[in-house]
A and B are shown apart, each in its own frame.
Chain A
Amino acid sequence: VSDLERIERMLREAAAPVDVPDALEGVARRAAVGDRPASARVARPRVSRWPFGRLLPAAAVMAAAAAATLLIGVGGRTPPFAVSSSLAMTGADGASATVDFGPAAGGTRPIMLRVRGLTPAPAGEYYEMWMRVGSDAVSVATFNTGPSGGATVRGSLAGGMSWRSCWVTLERVGGGHHTVLRAA
């Protein structure tokens, strides 16, 4: 009897578990089994691009995302740069991306992200590219893909910035995200 009482006490003290989102199994399985020997760290602190982060109304957030994309330009509309290094990212269902880095000049380093096979984000969601700098996750660009699943986005990094990993998330306006591409 005392043994069962002990178990009852443990059950009460443990409190109710939190139900796991249905999508997590597939995401975790792809992140694990589909993962290369990544340098990806477990922690994922997030640094918001916008001062008011997710408190902004959805429309304002989407407008800011659109403005950011316009500011960094879209591939093909700006002259190419000399590629000094590249990396590849992969995701589920054949999604992939390459990131080209140009030489640092004038305090900035140009980058070009080319995405293939990534389903267009549904309404209220968008893609965001991140890089880990030190222990922080720094947002690099927001974008969406076209009907073909492709996108080309140009942007820039601070010239002296050294980074450790790179990934792309599907972000939901108002909160929530999961990783869809990560560096090979």
Chain B
Amino acid sequence: MSTSCATVAPAITHPRSSTLVRMDLGGLSDEQLLERVAERRDADAFAVLYRRYARAVYSLVVRLLRDSATADDVAQEAFASVWRAARGYRRERGSAAGWLFAIARNAAVDTTRTRVALVVGELPEEPDPGPLPDDEAIAEMEAFRVHAAVDGLPAREREVIELAYYSGLSQSEVADRLDIPLGTVKTRTRTALQRLAGVLGEDEP
């Protein structure tokens, strides 16, 4: 993803978070934030990155580990690794989103590998009919990008997208739930989809 989540919705702050950050940082791209973390050890820049990627990172880790208790620790350590390893990020090698995805995935996979080693005597005799590892990794990256992009939407647009696509409500049901006209739901949905298309439009190198 060569365009960052911040490119389209630069001024958004995540309503789920209570931490105050300097407003001017909200306009920076993910790459700029990561560079501030690396060069200035800027805790506020780190907080903005956290807000943008917390749900994407946490969802990825839970998906890989299927264990929310362990996921708490792994997600925590993934963000600690972002802080520690930020100096190793090179913009020319890829997007910040891809770098964050790799850190979170490696954190979870490391844990999974250890678990597999502990139950090595219980390996199945039949091959796993599930998706190939490469397919899984692509799907994980895609979901990671989508979750981060949705979290970057303005709050009003994000709520209609979440109700429609994550909760499975029809547009009429979304209108009822939010107590807003159906036309407003349609407008917000279309605007949000266009905004997401701008963020997700380019393939990750």
Q: Residues of A at under 8 Å CB distance from B?
A: 3-4, 6-8, 10-22, 24-25, 27-29, 31-33, 35, 37-38, 40-46, 135-136, 175-179
Tell me if B's interface is mostly helix, strand, loop or mixed.
helix
Chain B residue nearest to A28 (CB atoms) is B79
Which of B41, B77, B106 has the most chain A CB atoms closer than 10 A to its own CB? B77
**Shortest beta-carbon contacts, A-B, top 8:** A32-B83, A43-B110, A16-B166, A45-B114, A14-B146, A42-B107, A17-B59, A28-B79
Chain A residue nearest to B62 (CB atoms) is A18
Size bracket, chain B contacts: 35 or more
Q: Does B184 contact A (CB under 8 A)?
A: no
A123 to B57, CA, bound (A): 31
Given A25-B19, A46-B70: A4 in contact with B193 (beta carbons within 8 A):
yes
Partner of B117, one of A8, A28, A29, A135: A135
Q: A17-B166, A29-B46, A32-B80 are in contact. List 12 more A-B contacts (CB 8 A).
A: A3-B201, A4-B190, A6-B197, A8-B193, A11-B161, A20-B75, A25-B17, A28-B54, A31-B80, A43-B111, A44-B74, A177-B73
Expressed in whole angstroms, the minimum distance between the Cβ of B105 and any Cβ of chain A is: 11
A135 to B70, CA, bound (A): 15
- Which residues of chain B (36-62) have a CB below 8 Å from chain A? 41, 43, 46-47, 50, 54-56, 58-59, 62
B residues less than 8 Å from A14 (CB atoms): 142-143, 146-147
Q: Residues of B at under 8 Å CB distance from A?
A: 16-19, 41, 43, 46-47, 50, 54-56, 58-59, 62-63, 68-70, 72-84, 103, 106-107, 110-111, 113-115, 117-118, 139, 142-143, 146-147, 150-151, 161-162, 165-167, 190, 193-194, 196-197, 200-201
26 contacts between A and B (CB under 8 A): A4-B194, A4-B197, A10-B142, A12-B165, A17-B56, A17-B166, A18-B62, A18-B63, A21-B72, A24-B58, A24-B72, A25-B18, A27-B76, A31-B76, A31-B80, A35-B83, A38-B80, A41-B77, A43-B107, A43-B111, A44-B73, A44-B74, A45-B114, A45-B115, A46-B70, A177-B69
In contact, A35 and B84 (Cβ under 8 angstroms): yes
